[in-house]
A and B are shown apart, each in its own frame.
Chain A
Amino acid sequence: MSADKIDFDIVGKSVRRRDAFEKVTGEAVFSTDVKLPGMLYAKVLRSPYPHAKIKKIDISKAEQLPGVKAVAYYGNTPRIKFNTSATMTFTVPHLEPVLDQYVFDDIVRYVGDEVAAVAAVSEEIAQQALKLIEVEYEELPAVYDPLEAMKEEAPHIHTGCKEGKNIPGDIVKIDMGDVEQGFAESDLVIEEMFKVPVQKQVQMETQAAVAQVSREGDITVWSTTQTPHPTRMILSRAFGVPHSKIRVLNPPYVGGGFGVRIGCSAKAEPIAVALAMLAKRPVKVVYTREEDFIASDTRHGGYVWAKLGVKKDGTFHALDLKGVLNAGAYCSFSCETPGVLGAMTLSVYRIPHQKYFGHSVYTNTTPAGAMRGFGNPQGIFALESVVDMVAEKLNIDPLELRLKNIMQVGDPWCLPYPCGATGMAECIEKGAKSIGWDRRGKLNKPGATKVRGIGVAIGSHVSNSWPFCVDYDNAYVTIQQDGSVQVACGVPDIGTGTTTTLPQLAAEELGVRFDMVNMTFGDTASTPFDIGSHASRTLYAAGTAVVAAAKDAKQQVLEYAADLLDVSAEKLDMKDSEVFVAQGSDEKRISLKEIAYHAHLRNKQFIGVGRIVPPNSPTWEAHFAEVEVDLQTGQVKVIKLVGAHDVGKAINPAICEGQIEGGLAMGLGYALSEEIRYNDKGKQQNKSISTYFLPTAEDMPEVEAILVESNDPSGPFGAKGVGETGLVPTAPAIANAVYNATGIRFTEIPLTEERVFFALRNNKKS
C-alpha cells in the first residue's frame, strides 16, 4: 500500500457518511426494529438474589397461560458451558478460555442473573407469564468486593479457579529489568492505591436479538453484536449446531457498542435461539434499559496500585503496578482486561525496570467485560495521578516531566510489537497550546469560592488485538461487470463509520471513484470471517484486509488491461476508474467499466481477496482539562476538555474527531459522575438513565479534538486505531486539574459533588 503517497484522492477527506441519510430519516433498521411473520416476544425472569441455588422451579402454570408458546429454563435447554463473550473464540492457544456460563443454570450468581424466559404472542402476556413461574431459592452467602472475595471465608462463586480463590483464568505477570534494584537506585519513590468505579456503556440501543430456526434446523439471528462471526461460533458451541447452519447478522445497524457486545449481546442471542427452538417460531428478545444496566457487562471496577521510582532529574527508573479487578459473576473478558491494564500502562513511558501483576476476582455482582479502553483507563488513572505527584515533589512542570520520559521509536518495552511511530510530543505541545497551559497557576484570586485548575494526562492504546487474541481479517473486493466495486467484510458498523471508511480505503487503493464502491458487512452469510469491531481495530485491521483485497483486484485488472492496451502491466495504473499508462508518454487509456464488461463477455470477473494477520501499533493521546471547583458545594465543573490524538493518518477526519469527542464525553462521565453502586443485598443502585448520571448536552464543556498524524508504517495509508482512545487519559487529566485547583489528590473516582465536598471539609479541618 502506498504509505509514502501524499496526494490522496479520497483518503484524508471528510466525505459524508454512507449511513447518514438512512439514519437522519429514520429508515435505518436496527435489531429492535426487526419484525418477522409469526414472531413471538420474550421476557426474562431474573434472580432477585445475589447468590442462590434454585431448589425447585415449576413452569407449568406459565406454560398454560393462553398466548404463551414456550418457557425455557435449565431443565429444557442445553447443558453446554460457554462464555457469552468472544474471548471463548479467540483466546490464544497457550491459554484456555474460561467457559463458566450456561444459557440457564440452577445456581444464580448476581441480582439479575437469568432464571427462565418466556416467549408469547405479546410482551404483555410474556410479562404476565413470568409471574406464574414458581421458583424456590435457597440463598447462598454472597460477596461483592474483589479483595473480600479472595479471602478464605468468602463463598466459592465458581469452582476450578486454579490461580487462587475466585480468580478466573490466569494471573497476568509482566517483568522487565529488576524493579527492586530500580527502586533502590531511585531518588524518589511514590506509591499509591487507587479505586476505580463500575462504569456502564449505556449504548443507546439495548441488547437485542431475533432468532429464527427453520424446520431443517438452520438458525438465523439478527443481533446487536459487534462481532457477527465470533457470535456464530459461540452459538454453535452453546447449541451444538455446526457453524455452517447458523447465520448471524446485523440488520444492518447497531445502536452503539463500546465493548458491551463483543460476542453475544449479553444473553439476548442464546435466549432467543433457545426459545425459538422450543416454540418453533421466531422469537425477539429486547432488554429493557434496566435489564441492560443490571444484566449486561460493565466496565471493571476495582483497585490499582502504582509505585513509581524516579531519579532527581525526573528520569523514570522503576514502575511496579498491580491490578485487582472485579470480574462480577461470570468471567466474560476478565482474563484479558487485567492484561491490557498492565501492558498499556507500562508502555507509555520509557522505564527500564517494570513489573505488573494483575487479575480479576469473581464476585456476586453484574459481570464485568469489555468497555471502551478495556482496562487501560483504570491503569492510566493510577499512573498519571502518580506522575503528577512526582512532578510536584520534584518541582518539575508536569509537561516537561512527561516529555522527558515518553516512549520513543526504538525504546525497549514489554509489548511484543514495535513502536512504529509516535506523535506524542506533538500531542502534548498542541494540547497545551489549546488549553492555555501558560495560564496554569495564575488562575485564582485569594479568597475565591470557586477555584480553577488545569491538568494533563497522557496515554496510549492498541490499534488491534493481535497478538493478545487470535486476530485475523479477510475481505473480498469484487469488480462488478459495470466497473463498480463491491467490498465484503465481516465487520459491523456500530457507529464508527466503518461502512464509509473501508470503501474510502478500497477506492484509494484501486484508483476508482468513491461513489462506485459499496460494502456488504455485518453478516456471516455474505462475508468471510472477521473477528469483528473491537480493540479500536476495525479501520486498522479490517482496513488492512480491504487494502490487500483491493491491491489483488487491481493487479488482476491491470494485467487484463495490459493485453487490451498492448502495454505491460507494470507500466499501467488506475485513477478515477480509468486505466492509463503511468510510465512513458503513451496516451492510451481505457475505463474500468469497459475492462470489466469486456472480461465478463469472455467469462471472467476480477475478485480480489485480502487475507491478513494485522500487526499492531500504539496510539498516543494527551488530554487536558480546565476545571472550576466550587469550594462550598464540592461541584466540579469542567470548563474545557482537549484531546490531542496521534491517529497515524485520519482516513476521514470528521469521523476521527467524532470518535474522540464521544470518547471525551464518556471519559468526563467516568471522571465525574458515572458509577453503578450496590447496596448490602447486592442490588444495583443505578439502573436507569436518570439515576446513572451520564453527561447530557448541558453537562458538556467546550471540547476540542486535535488530530496529529504520525503516519504509522504498519496501518492502512498510515492509520492507527482511534475508537477507544478518546477516554483513556480523560479521568486523570480532570483529577489532576482538580488537584491543581484545590490541592486535594483524589485516589478514587468519580469526583462526585459529595466526594469532593467531604474531601474539602476534611482538608479544611486538617
Chain B
Amino acid sequence: MSLKMLKFTLNGEPMEVPVSPSDMLVDVLRDKLELTGTKKGCGEGECGACTVIMNGKAVASCLVPALKAMGAEVETVEGVAKEKAHPVQEAFMDLGAVQCGFCIPGMIMSSKALLDENPKPSKEEIREAISGNICRCTGYVKIEKAVEAAAQKLQERG
C-alpha cells in the first residue's frame, strides 16, 4: 500500500511521518513514533485507554485513521507535563487515583480535555467526560475526586 506523509502538530512540535491509509492514529503514535504512553486496550473505541486530544477534543485514537490527523493539533499524554506535572496529573498522584496505570493516560487526556474547555465542571460533567474510559482497578472513586481537585486548583490559579 502506498505511503502518504502525515503532517501534523504533535505535542506542540511539527511532525511528519509516512503512514498508510489503513493505519490508525494509535498505531502510528505507538509503533512509528514510539510514544507508548497512549495505550491500546481494545482497538475498538470501547475502553478509552488510547484517548488523545485532537484539535481540543478527546478522541479514541484507535478509531481515528491516521490521515484524519493531517494538519491537526494532537496532544498525547507525553505532552501534558511541561516543566512540572500538570495539575490533573498532580491530583491523580496525590489522591491515590492511580493503580495499575493502564487506563491512566486516557483518563488524564479525557480529564484535561474537559478542564481545558470547562474549568468548573459539575460532578455529572466529570463522570460524563470519563465515561468512555474504562478503569477496572479504582471504581472511579478517587479518579473523580482527582478531577474535581484539579479543577479547584486550576481555578485558584486563575
Contacts and interface: CB of A to CB of B under 8 A. Distances in A.
B85 A24 contact: yes
A288 B43 contact: yes
A199 to B, nearest CB: 12
B98 A23 contact: yes
Nearest to A23: B101
A321 to B, nearest CB: 30
Interface string A1-37: 0000000000000101101111111111110110100
Interface in B24-54: 30-31, 34-44, 46-47, 49
A497 B99 contact: yes
B142 interface: yes
Contacts of A204: 39, 41, 47, 49, 100, 102-103, 134-137
Nearest to A494: B100
Contacts of B133: 697
Given A17-B98, A205-B102, A688-B46, A25 B85 contact: yes
Given A23-B101, A658-B142, A664-B139, A289 B41 contact: yes
Interface in B104-158: 104-105, 108, 126-128, 130-144
Contact of A689 (B34, B46, B93, B126): B46
B78 A689 contact: no
Contact of B44 (A28, A690, A703): A690
B78 A662 contact: no
B131 A289 contact: no
B141 A205 contact: no
A257 B42 CA distance: 16
A698 interface: yes
Nearest to B91: A24
Most chain B beta carbons < 10 A, residue from A30, A689, A695: A689
Interface string A568-593: 00000000000000000000000000
A256 interface: yes
Nearest to B105: A26
Given A205-B41, A698-B127, A662 B98 contact: no
B101 A19 contact: yes
A21 B93 contact: yes
A666 B136 contact: yes
A705 B140 CA distance: 13
A645 to B, nearest CB: 14
A494 to B, nearest CB: 6
B133 to A, nearest CB: 7
A27 B136 contact: no
Contacts of A688: 42, 44, 46
B47 to A, nearest CB: 5
A104 B136 CA distance: 31
Contact of B38 (A24, A26, A256, A700): A26
Contacts of B85: 21, 24-25
A661 interface: yes
A694 B46 CA distance: 11
B36 A496 contact: no
Main secondary structure of the interface of B (DSSP, over half): loop
B18 to A, nearest CB: 15
Contacts of B47: 204, 289, 689
Given A23-B104, A698-B128, A661 B98 contact: no
Interface residues of B, number: 55
B31 to A, nearest CB: 8
Given A25-B37, A204-B39, A662 B134 contact: no
Nearest to A691: B46
A203 interface: yes
A49 B36 CA distance: 36
B94 interface: yes
A495 B100 contact: yes
Given A203-B100, A256-B102, A661 B128 contact: no
Contacts of B96: 14, 17, 654-655, 657-658
B134 A694 contact: yes
Given A33-B36, A696-B131, A662 B138 contact: yes
A741 interface: no
B63 interface: no
Most chain B beta carbons < 10 A, residue from A253, A255, A664, A688: A255
Given A204-B100, A662-B137, A697 B77 contact: no
B34 to A, nearest CB: 8
A30 B35 CA distance: 13
A391 B121 CA distance: 45
Given A29-B36, A30-B102, A204-B47, A256 B138 contact: no
Contacts of A71: none
A295 interface: no
B139 A24 contact: no
Most chain A beta carbons < 10 A, residue from B139, B142, B143: B139
Nearest to A17: B98
Nearest to B77: A26
A255 B102 contact: yes
Most chain A beta carbons < 10 A, residue from B31, B47, B95, B143: B47
B5 interface: no
A765 to B, nearest CB: 37
Nearest to A26: B37
Contacts of B95: 654
Given A289-B44, A688-B44, A24 B92 contact: yes
B100 A254 contact: yes
B89 interface: yes
A688 B136 CA distance: 15
Contacts of B136: 201-204, 256, 258, 662, 665-666, 694
A206 interface: yes
B28 to A, nearest CB: 14
Given A23-B104, A32-B40, A206-B41, A496 B89 contact: no
A626 B84 CA distance: 42
Interface in A109-156: none
B81 interface: yes
A696 B138 CA distance: 11
Interface string A676-706: 0000000000001110001111101001010
B61 interface: no
Contact of A26 (B35, B93, B94): B35
A25 B99 contact: no
Contacts of A289: 41-44, 46-47
A368 to B, nearest CB: 18
B80 interface: yes
A256 B94 CA distance: 21
B99 A496 contact: yes
B78 A25 contact: yes
16 contacts: A17-B93, A24-B98, A24-B108, A26-B38, A26-B76, A203-B100, A204-B103, A253-B102, A288-B43, A289-B46, A658-B99, A658-B141, A662-B135, A694-B134, A697-B135, A700-B139
Interface of B: 30-31, 34-44, 46-47, 49, 76-78, 80-81, 85, 89, 92-96, 98-105, 108, 126-128, 130-144
Given A24-B89, A26-B35, A658-B99, 14 more contacts: A16-B94, A17-B93, A20-B93, A21-B85, A24-B104, A26-B36, A202-B134, A204-B47, A256-B137, A664-B139, A665-B136, A694-B136, A697-B140, A700-B139
